[in-house]
A and B are shown apart, each in its own frame.
Chain A
Amino acid sequence: MSLIFGILLVYTTGFSVVSRIHKSLGLLESISLSFLAGIGLQSMFMLLADIAGVQFNTTLLMVANIAVTILLFDRSNFVQGYYHRLKEDLAGQFKSLSLRTVDAAAVLIWITIGILVYIITVKGLYWPATEHDAVGSFDKLGILFALEGKIHISLFDYGLQGAGGVYPPLFTGGVAYFYLFGAQSPKLVTFFMNLSLILFFYATLRRYVNAFAASFATLLLMWTPEYYAHMGMLLSNLPATAYVGVSSLLLFIWVKEDRNDYFWLSALFAALMIWVRNDLVPFTAAGILVVLIVTIKNRNYRNFIGYSLISGLPFVLWTLYVKYNLKLSTAARFGGLSEISSQKLMIMGEYILAYLTVTKAPGSAPGFFLYGLAFMLPLVLMFANALSWKKHWEVFVYFKVSFVLYVLLFVLIDEKAQGADISSLMMSSFKRGMFCFIPVLMFYAATNPLALKLWDKIDSYRSED
């Protein structure tokens, strides 16, 4: 009961925030964005309490959530706009259920998605989080945040916080929140974040393609083999993917439709993205560059300054907290700049090629086995649509810039500080970090000019008009 109440609190707080920025969100958009924003806010509340020297617990979090909801909830918009629109939408959807109105292929795909999510979730929630990094960092920090009622837990003073200790507290704070409200398994956080990404990805695609195409791309996204395996684990890569995916998709909507409400939501989720892992900076930089390009075109500098400040602020805040409160140095963990040797570049190249194609690097499975169609299909489509790249320039820029910076991060990584050579890092951290590109690439795969022609052909075959 307490857990359900806790989850509802996350949704209501998140909804009151996102619906303040965007007053006409659809149902799926509201559900997905509310959770991601709501759980992000919990770690902000925890950090504020920590800085104020107050121990947080369920009561304090409840009060904070209710206060934010009362402060931000727009009742008149909810009743007059949102509620009525939702009622009409649902009534329209269920008015006549027949093979003339229901997309049978989309229903089949969603049944498949449902079965796949069910299997991995039941299995994941049953077993404790035994992954090395979950035990060494994420679950440990989550439990101790909840037990000690603070972010600056005792383990930081002894250097026993684990690798995830230098990451901002969104994910570990989420784990702590679920424990505080009585969850048996911390993996519920991963489940809700993943569910939010799936729903938001589908809702975004539905703006540009039919239900069949949107469902099919959603299936390919969540069924990416390595990603699917992670859905039953407690690691930070999947939450990172959820926030990178949502913030980038919101940005693409803004570029395509010039909707300021989506722009500010994108800035909010870019901020939350960096609040999950501070090494997601390549995606922040890519987002800022996309905004800068639009700014140069329309000379709206307010947007550029706003986006840069909002998306970069959590990075600065956390760096200061780590330095002055935790008395740690992120450089101590990640190391300084490493020597760049041709051998290192060769090894990295071999792994990158393997992950993007069908070749094999030492000790690792081929990319086709790990990621299935998630990289190869969009990359082939990018080449095939090379001449019409301007139609999706924002996706090209976002993907290419973030990917180059992501690779650069590993070129500069200090292997000694990581306690692993570059091959091991490519087989673990780099491989898992690649998830973050999948929503961006699958969005392109479903909405590029060639794919649109295919969806049109399928529609004209099965439609009356």
Chain B
Amino acid sequence: MKLPHKKFIPLRNLTVAAVTAVVILLIYLLPGYRFATEIIGFGGLRQMNEFEAAAREDGVKVTVEDKWQYRVTMYPFLKFITEATPPNAIILLPPRSALKDTKYEFIFESEWVEYFIYPRLCVGEDEKHLLPELYKKVNYVTLVDGWGYEKLHYELKDRMTYGVAPIDAPDSTQAQ
């Protein structure tokens, strides 16, 4: 099924185009469209260019890692956890309540943290009833703002703000 082609009168064709341009502008001025275009669209592009320009000024090339670090505030901590634990580690994450007023807002969620630490596994303190099998097998504990020390089966001499420690063997405790 095809509609027939029509021949236009050039000036009127342009007039309709001009009116259409005004209508597009009016739509753009409506709050939601303006927000989506200016803030989400152009704003995102501007942020991207500024990020690239800052890296250029420092004489470095932007890597995917840099982008993650820029967008996810807790990325360095997640990277630290990965580097400080063996691939077979099962890590206990803090409960939501221990994270108030910290920048680590999603670190209590195993589904979210797993993305960054695979093939290590993790389970949140809040998820002990949801994932009991995994909870029983925990061999590392994240230490956040004083939380986690009570889970260790030994006394840790130096207290750290953010870190990860083995639940049983204290010989390789690392801190950030």
Given contacts A158-B134, A207-B1, contact A99 B13 (CB under 8 A): yes
Bound CA–CA A219/B1 (angstroms)? 23
B98 close to chain A: CB less than 8 A:
no
Q: What does DSSP make chain B's interface, helix, strand, loop or mixed?
A: helix
Give every chain B residue within 8 A of A155 (Cβ-Cβ): 114, 118
Please tell me if the beta carbons of B3 and A207 are within 8 angstroms of each other in the complex. yes
Give every chain B residue within 8 A of A169 (Cβ-Cβ): none
How many residues does chain B have at the interface if contact means C-beta atoms less than 8 Å apart? 54
Give every chain A residue within 8 A of B48 (Cβ-Cβ): 122-123, 126-127
Among B8, B19, B134, point to the contact of A463 (Cβ < 8 A): B8
A120 close to chain B: CB less than 8 A:
yes
Give every chain A residue within 8 A of B7 (Cβ-Cβ): 100-101, 463-465
Please tell me if the beta carbons of B13 and A462 are within 8 angstroms of each other in the complex. yes
- The residues in A between 101 and 133 inclusive whose CB is less than 8 angstroms from any CB of B are 101-105, 107-109, 112, 116, 119-120, 122-124, 126-128, 130, 132
Give every chain B residue within 8 A of A124 (Cβ-Cβ): 44
Give every chain A residue within 8 A of B13 (Cβ-Cβ): 99-100, 102-105, 462
Give every chain B residue within 8 A of A462 (Cβ-Cβ): 8-9, 12-13, 15-16
Closest to A461 in B: B12
* Binding stretch for chain A, among B67-75, B138-146, B151-159, B164-172: B67-75
Please tell me if the beta carbons of B17 and A130 are within 8 angstroms of each other in the complex. no
Closest to B68 in A: A128
Bound CA–CA A46/B154 (angstroms)? 47
Give every chain A residue within 8 A of B133 (Cβ-Cβ): 158
Among A105, A130, A158, A223, point to the contact of B33 (Cβ < 8 A): A223
Please tell me if the beta carbons of B31 and A162 are within 8 angstroms of each other in the complex. no
Please tell me if the beta carbons of B14 and A99 are within 8 angstroms of each other in the complex. yes
Given contacts A103-B8, A136-B109, contact A122 B45 (CB under 8 A): yes
Please tell me if the beta carbons of B41 and A116 are within 8 angstroms of each other in the complex. yes
B131 close to chain A: CB less than 8 A:
yes
Bound CA–CA A140/B133 (angstroms)? 22
Chain B 28-66 near chain A by CB (<8 Å), digits 1 or 0: 001111011100111011001000000000000000100
Given contacts A123-B48, A228-B36, A228-B41, contact A104 B6 (CB under 8 A): no
Give every chain B residue within 8 A of A104 (Cβ-Cβ): 8, 13-14, 16-17
Please tell me if the beta carbons of A219 and B24 are within 8 angstroms of each other in the complex. yes
Given contacts A155-B114, A158-B131, A228-B40, contact A108 B27 (CB under 8 A): no
Bound CA–CA A212/B20 (angstroms)? 9
Bound CA–CA A126/B48 (angstroms)? 8
Among B6, B16, B44, B45, point to the contact of A465 (Cβ < 8 A): B6
B111 close to chain A: CB less than 8 A:
yes
Closest to A140 in B: B115
B85 close to chain A: CB less than 8 A:
no
Bound CA–CA A116/B24 (angstroms)? 12
Bound CA–CA A226/B36 (angstroms)? 7
Give every chain A residue within 8 A of B121 (Cβ-Cβ): 158, 160
A351 close to chain B: CB less than 8 A:
no
B-to-A contact residues, CB < 8 Å: 1-3, 5-10, 12-17, 19-21, 24, 27, 30-33, 35-37, 40-42, 44-45, 48, 64, 67-68, 71-72, 106, 109-112, 114-116, 118-119, 121-122, 130-131, 133-134
Beyond the given pairs A210-B6, A372-B27, 10 more chain A to chain B contacts, judged by CB atoms under 8 angstroms and listed by A's residue number, are: A108-B24, A119-B45, A127-B71, A128-B67, A137-B111, A158-B131, A160-B121, A369-B32, A369-B35, A462-B12
Subset of 25 A-B contacts with CB under 8 Å: A103-B8, A104-B13, A105-B13, A105-B20, A107-B17, A109-B20, A155-B114, A158-B121, A158-B133, A158-B134, A159-B131, A160-B111, A207-B1, A207-B3, A209-B3, A210-B6, A216-B20, A223-B33, A225-B33, A225-B35, A232-B44, A365-B32, A372-B27, A463-B6, A463-B8
